[in-house]
């Protein structure tokens, strides 16, 4: 058995674009906010650069003269636009619930490590009834840096008391795969927004798939 095939002892999920396929709604909200303030917006370039970052980390360089109160207000507006649009459409990515059931049966703990602010995290966790299924939820609102920094993943592993090398991270963006690499964790790319070519060159990547249902044959996810 190679190190990449070793069964995971813990699973760490990004949320946006991974647990739920919602990134188009985020893009629309960012586009609306930036357009309202006279800033250009290229959806594809914006996603590749910012996915996994906290809203304040995204907004500060876009509004260099703004104080923290202004940054917070802009972030509030963006998330309000997003929740209004996505709220009626919340649904898990195909195969997620089956994977979670197998992890539960094998006693493999799971965590969420997301850049989402509390309101967005609550929307998904509560609408899908998943909050109690996760050992912990980690986010920048708790004082951690966003991705590609490894902080969120390292804290999730610490709270689950599982070594980083025994965790598998599920992500939809290069920033997230890079954060997992820096944390010393294996990663799987969910191709909800990008193609496999966008994840080329990551030595911690052990698989990529359009959804969780397509990961059934991955050795590292054969718990037991």
Active site residues: 14
Record the tokens describing residue 156, joined without a space: 């999730």
User: Nearest Cα to 171, choosing from 52, 58, 27?
Assistant: 52
Answer yes or no: are the C-beta atoms of 223 and 104 closer than 8 Å: no
CB-based burial, 173-193: b 16+ in 10 Å, e otherwise: bbbbbbbbbbbebbbbbbbbb
Residue 90, classed as helix, strand or coil, is: coil
> How far, in whole angstroms, is CA 28 from its chain's centroid?
18
């Amino acid at each position: 058995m190679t190190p990449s095939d070793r069964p995971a002892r813990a699973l760490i999920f990004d949320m946006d674009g991974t647990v739920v396929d919602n990134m188009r709604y985020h893009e629309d909200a960012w586009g609306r906010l930036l357009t309202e303030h006279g800033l250009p917006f290229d959806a594809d370039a914006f996603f590749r650069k910012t996915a996994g970052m906290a809203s304040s980390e995204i907004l500060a360089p876009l509004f260099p003269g703004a104080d923290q109160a202004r940054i917070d207000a802009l972030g509030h507006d963006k998330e309000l636009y997003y929740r209004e649009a996505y709220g009626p459409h919340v649904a898990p990515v195909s195969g997620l619930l089956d994977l979670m059931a197998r992890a539960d049966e094998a006693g493999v703990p799971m965590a969420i490590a997301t850049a989402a602010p509390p309101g967005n995290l609550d929307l998904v966790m509560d609408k899908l009834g998943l909050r109690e299924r996760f050992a912990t939820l980690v986010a920048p609102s708790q004082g951690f840096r966003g991705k590609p920094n490894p902080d969120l993943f390292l804290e999730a592993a610490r709270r689950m008391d599982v070594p980083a090398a025994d965790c598998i991270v599920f992500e939809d963006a290069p920033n997230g795969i890079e954060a997992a690499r820096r944390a010393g964790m294996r990663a799987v790319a969910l191709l909800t927004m990008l193609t496999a070519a966008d994840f080329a060159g990551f030595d911690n990547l052990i698989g990529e798939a359009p959804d969780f249902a397509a990961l059934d044959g991955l050795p590292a996810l054969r718990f037991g």
